[in-house]
Amino acid sequence: MECSKYSCWDFLITCVGLPLFLTDIGLDIWAAVIFYQEKAYACLGVLLLLLVGSTLLAQAYSWLWYSYDNFEMKTKVEGLPTQRELTVLHVCQLGVYVRYMYNRLPDPEKGTEDITVSLTHDLSMLRIIETFSESAPQLTLMLTIILQTGHLDPVTVLKAIGSASAIAFSVTAYHRSVRSFLPDKEKQQITSSVIYFIWNLVLISSRLTALALFASVLPCFIFTHFICSWLVLFFFAWRSKTDFMDSSCGEWLYRATVGLIWYFNWFSVAKGKTRNRTALYHGYILTDICILCAVWCWKMSTDPPDFVIEPMHALITAACVVAVYILGLILKAIYYKLFHPNLDKNKIKGTSTEQQPVNVPKVLGDEVDAAPSPPPQPCCNKRMRKLAESFYC
C-alpha cells in the first residue's frame, strides 16, 4: 500500500503544528483576560464567539470523518477509546488533541509512513478550518482595535506579523500535505514552499487589513458585510457542485465552510481547470478591498478619529493596501510560472495509453491545471484519495 514519500520537512512542519496549536490557545486565554480587565466586553464577546464557533466546527469535522471511516482506527492509541468514548471526547472538545496524539504514535504493523501521511493530512485540514474560522477573524479584530485607538508599538506590530505568518504557515503546511501523496509528482523543494508562503502572506495581510480598516470606522456594518459576502460565496460553493463529504448534511457544512474560507483567501474546491475561477475570485476580492478602503478614507475625512491623521496619509494607506494585494497576485503568478512543481508531462503521456480515465476531483486547497494522469495508488485515507485525484484536472 504505497501512498507517498514523507520527507523530513513534512515531519518537521507537522511537529511544529501541536506547539503552535497550544500556543494559540494560551494567547486566546490571555487576550480574553485582557479584554475583561479593560472592560472591553464587546471585544470579549466577539473573541469568545470566534473561539467557541471555531472549536465546534473543528470537532464536528473530526467526528464526521471518524464516522465516515466507520470508526476504523489506524493506530494502537486510537484503539484505546471506544466509539462512545470517542464521541464523548469530541463533545468535550478534545477530539483534535487525540488526533495529534495518534499522529505521533502510529502502529508500525499497519505501515507507518502511509498512516502518518494520512493522519497528517486530516490534521492539516482541521488546522486550515481553525485558521480561517478563528485566527483570521481574531487578527482582524486585533488590527481593528489598533486602528481605533491609534496606539501602535513594536510589540503589537510583532504580534500582528506573527499572527499573519501563522495563518500563511497553515496554508503552506496544507499545500505540502496535499502534495505529499501525489503520484508521479515532481518533488517540491523547500524554496517552492517559501515562495508559496510569501505570496499567501502578502494576499492575506492585505485582505485582513482592508477588513480592519472598514471595521474601525463602521464596526457594526462589518458583520453585515460578512453575512452578505458569505451568502454570495456560499452560493458559488454550492454552484461548484462540491462532493467532498460522504453525507448530505456534511456536504452542506463543507460548502458553508468554503464560503467562510473564501471570505479571507482562495481555495479550489471543484474539478476542472481553475484559472478562470481564480481570476474571477481575485477580481471580486480586489474590488471589495477597493470599496472597503474607499469607505475608510471617506469616514476619515468626514468623521476623523480623536487622534490626528492627515487626509493624504489616509489616502496613501488605502492605496498601499490595494497595491499590496496586487503585489501578492503578481507573486502568485510568478510562483505558478516558475516555482510550482508540476507533473511530468512526458510521464503523463507515456502512461495515459495504459491507464483508463479516472473520474476525479475534489480539493479543499490548491488550484492545479494539469492534463489527465493515471489514478493515484490506493491510500489508507479516502479523503486523501479524493484530494489526490482532484489534482489531475
Indicate whether 167 pLDDT > 70.
yes
- Tell me the CA end-to-end span of the chain in Å, nearest whole number: 24
| Residues 237, 366 contacting (CB under 8 angstroms) | no
Residue type at 57 in one-letter notation? L
Taking the C-alpha atoms of residue 239 and residue 250, their distance in angstroms, rounded to an integer, is 16
| 24-28, 194-198, 255-259, 263-267: the lowest-pLDDT one | 24-28
Where residue 18 falls among pLDDT bands split at 50, 70, 90? low
- Asked if residue 95 belongs to a domain, the reply is no
Model confidence pLDDT, tens digit, residues 242-256:
888 888 899 999 999
pLDDT at site 207: 96
Asked whether residue 176 is domain-assigned, the answer is yes
The beta-strand segments (E) located in the chain are none
> pLDDT tens digits, residue range 73-126?
655 555 566 667 777 777 877 777 676 665 555 455 555 555 556 666 777 788
The tens digit of pLDDT for each residue in 338-357 reads 887 765 544 444 444 444 33
Whether residue 224 lies inside any domain: the answer is yes
Q: 356 CB contacts (<8 Å, ≥6 apart)?
A: none
| pLDDT confidence tier of residue 374, bands split at 50, 70 and 90 | very low
- Pairwise pLDDT comparison (361 vs 264), residue with the higher score: 264
CB 159 within 8 A of CB 315: no
**Is the link from the previous residue into 357 a cis peptide, with omega within 30 of 0?**
no
Burial of 94 (0-12, 13-18, 19+ CB in 10 A): middle
- 268 inside domain: yes
Indicate the pTM of the whole model: 0.81
Structural domain contains residue 375: no
| Structural domains of the chain, count | 1
Which three cell numbers, joined as nine digits, stand for 345? 508531462
Q: What is the pLDDT of residues 187-202, one digit of tens each?
A: 667 788 889 999 999 9
Summarize the confidence of residues 217-226 as an average pLDDT.
93
- Give the Å distances, CA to CA, from 312 to 119, 301, 316: 52, 10, 6
Instruction: Give the mean pLDDT of the chain.
Output: 76
Round to whole Å and give the CA distance between 43 and 96: 26
Residue bearing the bigger pLDDT, 153 or 353: 153
Residues 6+ apart with CB under 8 A from 231: 259
Residue 235 lies in a domain: yes
Amino acid 193: pLDDT: 85
Q: How far apart are CA 187 and CA 180, in angstroms?
A: 9
Across 228-261, b (16+ Cβ under 10 Å) vs e yields: ebbeebbebbeebebebbeeeebbebbbebbbbb
- The interaxial angle of helices 41-68 and 112-130, nearest 10 deg, is 150
pLDDT number for residue 123: 78
Q: Which residue has the higher pLDDT, 289 or 67?
A: 289
Using CB atoms within 10 Å of the CB of residue 320, give its burial: 0 to 12 exposed, 13 to 18 middle, 19+ buried.
middle
Closest by CA to 339, choosing from 118, 188, 125, is 188
Mean pLDDT across the stretch 170-175? Answer: 85
Residue 263 is assigned to a structural domain of this protein: yes
Report for 23-32, 51-60, 265-274, 308-317: range of highest mean pLDDT = 51-60
Residue 1: CB partners within 8 Å, gap ≥ 6?
Answer: 111, 114, 377, 378, 379, 380
Q: Give the three cell numbers for residue 289.
A: 478591498
Alpha helices (runs of H) in the chain, residue ranges in sequence order: 8-37, 41-68, 83-91, 95-104, 112-130, 136-149, 154-179, 190-217, 221-239, 248-262, 275-302, 311-334, 345-352, 382-390
Is 211 a domain residue?
Answer: yes
pLDDT score for 66: 80
Q: For residue 69, what pLDDT is reported?
A: 72
CA 61 – CA 245 distance, rounded (Å): 10
Domain range for 125 is 19-27+111-342+382-392
Q: How confident is the model at residue 136 (pLDDT cuts 50, 70, 90)?
A: very high
